Amino acid sequence: MDWGAAWLAPWRATGEPVAQQIVRGDTVHSALQTVLGAGRGGVRFVPQSDLPDGIAYEQFIFDTRRVPTRDNLHDFFNGLAWLQFPQTKRRLNQLQAQAIAADGIQAVRGPLRDALTVFDENGAVLQAPEALWDALRARDWQALFVDLRPLWREARLVLFGHALLEKLVSPRKPMVAHVYQAPAAIHSIADMDAWLAQALQPGHWATKPFAPLPVLGVPGWWPANEVPGFYADAQVFRPLRVASVA
């Protein structure tokens, strides 16, 4: 794992010690619990075998404050998210459990659970000048990444989704984050966590208030995006769809 990668910068101080313990032979849940410490974070990391058959994962966490954890990268990054964003992860879990209690487990998730899962797995938070947000919402990739490139020095992108972090262990150009807008006044990860947990309001969140962002197009995140023509790939940098009028 390349802890020098730009997207891992906010995660390194917490994640590298956990990874080192795993390399020395610890299980993922044990390494996470050691870094978490007793009585912190409101949850405990436990083996996946602690999850009883027939009990929904999110419901089990809500009821027991225990996070079933497998020995793989996906659950490693999920555990790091609990360490970095404890308030947000608890709020996501609360909303998932409430939806499960109300509607049960169905073949297709409802709009709220779907949106929560998308963000939990693949979300990110972007602080950026409004001009960058305007270009992103319009899918104007030329403006976003080329014409307005100097403005990215005033921006900060923090990945949240543990599946996205897992995929970026082997970076590929098509990888996309679902990005939520954060105010520029937030500086620390702890403050971002508190703000994001408060922002998780069901009515608003069910609308999927995200914008898709090909993360390896972010200036400074991948050397290949310095090459002319990088953003001309319409399979990755797709134009905004315009709804047809009947």
| 93-134 confidence digits (pLDDT tens) | 999 999 888 776 665 668 898 999 999 999 999 999 999 999
131 & 226 share domain: yes
Chain mean position to CA 117 = 10
pLDDT one-digit tens code per residue, 151-163: 999 999 999 999 9
Last residue of a domain, one of 107, 138, 161: 107
pLDDT one-digit tens code per residue, 132-150: 999 999 999 999 999 999 9
90 & 150 share domain: no
Asked if residue 26 has pLDDT above 60, the reply is: yes
pLDDT at 245: 47
Last residue of a domain, one of 50, 78, 107: 107
For residue 38, the SS3 value is coil
70 & 126 share domain: no
pLDDT at 105: 65
Residue 224 domain-assigned (yes or no): yes
207 & 142 share domain: yes
Residue 188 domain-assigned (yes or no): yes
87 & 124 share domain: no
Interior CA angle at 134 toward 132 and 136, to 5°? 70
| 77: Cβ contacts below 8 Å, ≥ 6 apart | 162, 163, 165, 166
Residue-range definition of the domain harbouring residue 86: 7-107
pLDDT at 242: 62
pLDDT at 110: 81
Rounded Cα distance between 11 and 84, Å, is 8
Last residue of a domain, one of 107, 139, 162: 107
Instruction: Please state the pTM of the whole predicted model.
Output: 0.92
Reported as a pLDDT band with limits 50, 70 and 90, residue 204 is: very high
191 & 138 share domain: yes
Number of domains in the chain: 2
User: Region 28-32: what's the mean pLDDT?
Assistant: 96
Rounded Cα distance between 158 and 182, Å, is 10
